[in-house]
Structure 1
């Protein structure tokens, strides 16, 4: 059965190790599989794998990412009551192996059924988890594609991300002066104390329109030495306008600068924007078509905003794409799992979207 083949592909993919910048095993598996189906493939300068299936009408992009967060080890997951679970030793990798498997099975069924479909550009990206690097590097111009679907995790299977947040990373380097804690402390500057005193914005802000997190802290050199250096890694996610976002940057700069100056130390901040916010218009042609497909089988389109980034965030400035969630739960953790039956429905819905898109003008 084709559903069994879909699940088998998912099992194959999660068995392969793949972290950002080390997607070679998954890329080779996909390339071999797609070439065996007669598709032409290429690898761009970023390491993205691109497969092309000729068709009729306007081209359409199907996208999923090949990498996963560390440890990202391949594993043999546990199947229980129609749900695929991590074995607990690592994250499952269904984020985004589920998206990869959906696209593979969609392409297989298109050829087996000989149904009408548009030219399809299947884009399998690298380094999504480390800043959407592959999607940002992708050039759609040679493929003449302007619309597409991203399969990635956000909510329950089939839910569409209607709004994506602005996302940027920031680093803070705090420096002070070290010394022995048992001697004269008049000349030391404790970098950890500067961090503790900094009145920086954090958590949920502006009625949860902005979230700021410091997720990694590194500092000090020994138990018996006053720490003279602290490194912080944080992120800012926001649905607010650019003026408000710049206000949060300035608030962060000012908070750390003032705390450092008062203590006699220094603070340096560096911001790295990864993607801007976007909104999917409800009347976009591909989204309208997906809504019709769901309605015709008695389902209802669900649209939800999310702070979670995806390749759509990097592709939207150039392509009218939207993310359809694959339904992975507890992604990025050893408790990750994915229900299998909804993946089969996503394949069938995608096939119907492709059939109708090929006949649209």
Structure 2
């Protein structure tokens, strides 16, 4: 499985990759506002030998631009195509971003996020393609699947036009683990919305007619199993909204939460428990509850002996990085792509404190992401090239 050395990975230009990341990080592109990032890629991708197109996913959520799918022919068309995916949006604006490098780690100046989630992956992919070209390494076709509106809940990937993707297998660098982390398993996830109803009344004028929806919901929550349910399942209540005035006993309240589990059966059991617990509280107190369950995404489980797993383990060792296999209850585009027939796994690239002004990434992890991407392209070719 192994080439022992990776010629293309050794061609990664560290200064060029760092500058590319800093340039991308400064492009303001929060969720649904990715037009400037798309403009950057439209100018650059043809120089790297890519053709590309956008889908119309953005029409489903009033975004500026759709998902970008780019294709580069291989030196050997007989090799199965390999895709690399990431998202073009950041969770918050990066307007006015000022990067600061201290002790080999890249930060913002503390007034914005850094956007390493996931501009670091995008910069690394682009540098890896340059390294492949400059090294002259043989390779199969390469596809980039660059989604929009990922941060609010994998929305761009959910509405992607999957007929535009030519490849069926690939990788997504989008995890806080250091380079070498290989995530084979991701969770199922659903939201639960509970509309708890009592009876509104004024505390001074007709309090005896009141039935507080807050108190009904409180009883339900006190009897509800939340947090870590078991080693495979998490449950949370994250939203409570309702009430009109401090003088009005609230007649309605919205309670919303989320469940994640590696097991679809356990996910459904926990959702049912939450629903039944709130319904019982409502019945006990003369109220009612309407429940709506909203699927977020499905889980994935890539075998340890899958070609994707074996390829990344070998490629990591070729660049002197120790690979390790793990699983996560965090969601990523990986969940949605797998559900839609694009088999992939998530890889770590080492960003830290994401979604905050303390976000950072080490230069070492940034460079290793580029090296591993180039190594994956090279190793994929080695694993599939015709026998002599």
The reply to whether TM is greater than 0.5 is yes
Change in 2 beyond 3 A, CA 1:260/1:246: same
Deviations 1:93-140 (A, max 9, x none): 211111111112112222233321211110110122223222234455
Q: Which residue of 2 aligns with 1:195?
A: 217
Confirm or deny: 8 A CA contact 1:212 1:234 kept in the other structure. Answer: yes
Find out whether 1:54 has 2:73 as its counterpart: yes
Find out whether 1:94 has 2:116 as its counterpart: yes
Find out whether 1:223 has 2:249 as its counterpart: no
Post-superposition offset of 1:82: 1.5
**Root-mean-square deviation (Å):** 2.0
Indicate the SS of the match to 1:335: coil
Confirm or deny: 8 A CA contact 1:96 1:153 kept in the other structure. Answer: no
Q: Which residue of 1 aligns with 2:268?
A: 246
Deviations 1:238-277 (A, max 9, x none): 122x332221121111111122232233222211112222
TM-score normalised by L of structure 2: 0.86
Change in 2 beyond 3 A, CA 1:10/1:217: farther
Q: Which residue of 2 aligns with 1:120?
A: 142
Change in 2 beyond 3 A, CA 1:220/1:306: same
Change in 2 beyond 3 A, CA 1:275/1:103: same
Find out whether 1:311 has 2:330 as its counterpart: no
Q: Which residue of 1 aligns with 2:202?
A: 180
Q: Which residue of 2 aligns with 1:322?
A: 345
Q: Which residue of 2 aligns with 1:351?
A: 374
Confirm or deny: 8 A CA contact 1:190 1:228 kept in the other structure. Answer: yes
For structure 1, which runs of at least 5 residues remain unmatched after alignment?
none
Q: Which residue of 2 aligns with 1:32?
A: 43
Find out whether 1:333 has 2:359 as its counterpart: no
Indicate the SS of the match to 2:202: coil
CA distance in 2, matches of 1:72, 1:297: 32
Confirm or deny: 8 A CA contact 2:29 2:94 kept in the other structure. Answer: yes
Indicate the SS of the match to 1:327: coil
Find out whether 1:45 has 2:69 as its counterpart: no
Change in 2 beyond 3 A, CA 1:124/1:166: same
CA distance in 2, matches of 1:67, 1:215: 24
Change in 2 beyond 3 A, CA 1:90/1:268: farther
Q: Which moved more, 1:86-95 or 1:139-148?
A: 139-148
Confirm or deny: 8 A CA contact 1:20 1:69 kept in the other structure. Answer: yes
Indicate the SS of the match to 1:61: strand
Confirm or deny: 8 A CA contact 1:88 1:335 kept in the other structure. Answer: yes
TM-score normalised by L of structure 1: 0.92
For structure 2, which runs of at least 5 residues remain unmatched after alignment?
1-11, 58-65
Change in 2 beyond 3 A, CA 1:250/1:294: same
